């Protein structure tokens, strides 16, 4: 005699396992999306009145696109990716300090020094508070850096941003916009960030935890769709605020370039100062200088929706950054490739 599981054909067991994973994803994803709709509807400035049809991009399209991009990150992660916190505290500390402390300070100095408008200054701060994304992981691999370390940084910062982004952005709005700043609930924004970033990452990790085979099969297609969504979000941010971009490109372009170049340099030199090897220094540099533009665009839109239903001016720095960061980082990646071949 044998139990039901022992007698069941292997294909049936595999199918049941996959169905179980899919049910788990659906049962987790549906409530998360429903909660996302509820929260994003209230996080926009309380005094902002926008027609229903003009809210679709901000309330629905951008949040879902960002959630999917974060899901594409999570499906490639495991709990081991968070182990750097305890295993190598020095390596962890320098990367986190650069991303969560130095980067916002540098962005604040650039916005103030170049005299950006209040809204663009806040937009630059939103970008500086955004975590690194899948892009930084890919660039790290191309530059012959430590990809596993890059993934670990991205995983930790993506979770921590739920707390740090609302606090720093709230301060930035008070400082740069003063009385003209829209009223936002920092707690609600934090909950929104949790639903937009952490929940999709956890769902992706859950899929991998329960079925590595399913995650491996999904990862390629999911990553391609996420890349496409990223391009669409960036282009939409630029296109809908084209006039504002043209009026401010003389300051905004240099601002995002200076921010990226400065952080790439600080990241590499700080890692060298702590005697990290070149491979890890490359990773720290890219994680310090490359941020997730899609997060910045979405958060900017949620905080202050454009009157015509387009992407907010707060999102414009992230949109411009999403294009220029590749131009900025390309020489660095090429340099690291040539150095690793010597």
**Both tokens assigned to 318:** 């992230």
Q: What is the pLDDT of residues 287-324, one digit of tens each?
A: 998 888 888 888 887 787 655 555 678 888 888 888 88
- What pLDDT is stored for residue 12 in this prediction? 42
Hey, where are the domains in the chain? 20-39+49-341
Q: What single string gives the DSSP state of each residue in 198-210?
A: IHHHHHHHHHHHH
- What pLDDT is stored for residue 39 in this prediction? 40
- What pLDDT is stored for residue 264 in this prediction? 95
- What pLDDT is stored for residue 342 in this prediction? 58
Of the candidates 176, 174, 149, 153, the one whose C-alpha atom is nearest the C-alpha of residue 280 is 149
- What pLDDT is stored for residue 105 in this prediction? 95
d(CA 234, CA 78): 29
Contact criterion met (CB below 8 Å) for 218 and 203: no
Task: Quote the radius of gyration of the chain (alpha carbons, Å).
Answer: 21
SS3 117: coil
Residues 82-100, mean pLDDT to the nearest whole number? 84
Lowest mean pLDDT segment, chosen from 45-54, 205-214, 241-250 = 45-54
Architecture field, domain 20-39+49-341 = Up-down Bundle (1.20)
- What pLDDT is stored for residue 272 in this prediction? 93
Lowest mean pLDDT segment, chosen from 37-51, 52-66, 125-139 = 37-51
- Whether residue 194 has pLDDT greater than 90: no
Residues 233-259, mean pLDDT to the nearest whole number? 77
**Phi, psi torsion values for 173, nearest 5 degrees:** -65, -40
Lowest mean pLDDT segment, chosen from 46-50, 54-58, 230-234 = 46-50
Q: Residue 216: how many CB atoms within 10 A of its CB?
A: 12
- Whether residue 28 has pLDDT greater than 50: no
């Amino acid at each position: 005699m044998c139990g039901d599981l022992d007698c069941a054909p292997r294909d049936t067991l595999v199918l049941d396992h996959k169905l179980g994973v899919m049910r788990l994803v659906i049962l987790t994803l549906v409530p998360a999306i429903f909660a996302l709709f509820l929260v994003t509807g209230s996080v926009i400035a309380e005094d902002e009145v926008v027609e229903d049809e003009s809210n679709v991009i901000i309330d629905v399209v951008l949040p879902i696109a960002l959630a999917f991009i974060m899901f594409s990150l999570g499906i490639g992660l495991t709990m081991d990716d968070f182990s750097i916190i305890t295993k190598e505290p020095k390596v962890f500390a320098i990367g986190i300090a650069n991303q969560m402390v130095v980067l916002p300070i540098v962005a604040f100095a650039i916005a103030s020094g170049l005299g950006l408008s209040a809204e663009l200054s806040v937009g630059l701060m939103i970008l500086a508070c955004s975590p690194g994304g899948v892009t930084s992981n890919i660039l790290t691999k191309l530059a012959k850096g430590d990809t596993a370390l890059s993934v670990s940084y991205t995983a930790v910062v993506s979770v921590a941003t739920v707390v740090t982004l609302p606090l720093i952005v709230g301060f930035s709005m008070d400082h740069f916009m003063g009385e003209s700043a829209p009223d936002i609930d920092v707690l609600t924004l934090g909950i929104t960030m949790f639903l937009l970033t952490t929940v999709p990452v956890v769902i992706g990790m859950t899929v991998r935890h329960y079925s590595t085979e399913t995650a491996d099969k999904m990862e390629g297609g999911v990553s391609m769709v996420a890349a496409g969504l990223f391009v669409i979000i960036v282009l939409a941010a630029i296109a809908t605020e084209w006039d504002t971009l043209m009026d401010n490109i003389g300051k905004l372009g240099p601002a995002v370039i200076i921010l990226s170049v400065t952080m790439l340099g600080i990241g590499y030199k700080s890692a060298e100062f702590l005697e990290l090897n070149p491979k890890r220094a490359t990773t720290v540099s890219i994680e310090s200088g490359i941020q997730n533009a899609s997060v910045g665009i979405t958060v900017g839109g949620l905080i202050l929706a454009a009157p015509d239903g387009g992407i907010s001016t707060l999102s414009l720095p992230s949109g411009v950054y999403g294009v220029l960061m590749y131009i900025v980082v390309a020489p660095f990646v090429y340099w690291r490739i040539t150095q690793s071949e010597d």
